[in-house]
Amino acid sequence: MKLASFVYRSLPVVALASALGGLVPAAHAREGVDVGGNSVFAKVVPADQVERSAQLQYNQMLSQADSKRALAPKDNAELQRLRAISRKIIPFAMDWNPRARSWQWEVNLIGSNQINAFCMPGGKIAFYSGILQQLKLTDDEVAMVMGHEIAHALREHARERMGKSAATQGIARLGGALAASFFGIDARITDGIASGGAHLLTLEFSREDESEADLVGMELAARAGFDPRAGVTLWQKMGAASKGAPPQWLSTHPSGKSRIAEIESNLPKVMPLYERARAR
């Protein structure tokens, strides 16, 4: 935490952006939500390294679940439901990240009481049965959860968190020649973080990342023909399930009230997308 603070105080934003090739430009005016460009820090760690690490960790997770007979078989009704919803959402992911076109998307269901779901870099999606059973999610609500998690992968939030860690370590080594030497970050630092230094299943995102994922996920779901107003009922259910202690999926997220307010304020931007999709 102290190192991170040191980075932001010592290295001017302009110098950092210049050293890394500048901020990723935001998309031109478009229909839907506006969340700006991807973070400059996502450029520090190579995307292919992050995605390979995600594939390895995802496979390990599936193997462990299978050994405990907790991995849903292909004919499981809830798994088939999840995969059907994903097939509607994924085609709209490409506009947010060109790399998504080459991702080997996977969707799996794990038997667990956890109220949790995630999408790792490279399109590796998993839901825990607890989030479906305990919250009794409708298809629209499932789409909001799935869209949110896919948005994390598309916006490369995990890669961003790794990049910030790599940049912090690199700057700590480089000492006083911060901006001038930024290109000299030791490749072994970024390689180590991407290949296994970060446990992607437990990586925590910032509240800003979570809010961004809400909006992008809502748009993805709307374009796929799922009612974005389900975001409101989803977070109402989440709030009711917390009972004083937020479930794992909510542990680092903004409060339910604040995110419901943000969803409602952005509904006018995505409702036309939903209505058009339903009319097709």
What digits encode the pLDDT tens for the residues 224-237? Answer: 999 999 999 999 99
pLDDT at 225: 98
- pLDDT (0 to 100) of residue 48: 86
Number of domains in the chain: 1
Which is more confident, 218 or 1?
Answer: 218
108 touches 79 (CB < 8 A): yes
pLDDT of residue 10: 33
Determine the distance from the C-alpha atom of residue 66 to the mean position of all C-alpha atoms in its chain, rounded to a whole number.
25
Q: What is the set of active-site residues? A: 149
- Stated as kind and residue range, the H or E segment containing 125 is strand 124-128
Q: Does position 160 have pLDDT exceeding 90, yes or no?
A: no
In terms of Cα–Cα distance, which of 201, 205, 195, 197 is closest to 48? 195
Q: What is the tens place of the pLDDT at every residue in 244-256?
A: 555 544 545 556 7
In a domain, 56, yes or no: yes
One-letter identity of residue 4: A
64 domain residue, yes or no: yes
The predicted model scores a pTM of 0.76
Strand partners, 107: 125
Range of the domain at 220: 37-279
In a domain, 3, yes or no: no
Helix (H, G, I), strand (E, B) or coil at 119: strand
Name beta bridge partners: 118. Answer: 126
Q: What is the structure's pLDDT at 104?
A: 96
What is the mean pLDDT of the segment spanning 156-185?
54
Cβ 49 vs Cβ 191: under 8 Å: yes
Write the pLDDT tens digit of every residue in 82-92: 999 999 999 99
- What pLDDT band is residue 239 in, cutting at 50, 70 and 90? confident
Residue 21: inside a domain: no
- Determine the pLDDT at residue 144: 98
- Does 29 reside within a domain? no
**Domain contains 126:** yes
Measured CA to CA, the distance from residue 238 to residue 179 in angstroms comes to 44
Residue 195 scores a pLDDT above 80: no
- Confidence class for position 19, pLDDT limits 50, 70, 90: very low
Greatest mean pLDDT among 29-33, 152-156, 220-224, 253-257: 220-224
For residue 119, being part of any structural domain is answered with yes
Q: What is the pLDDT of residue 228?
A: 97
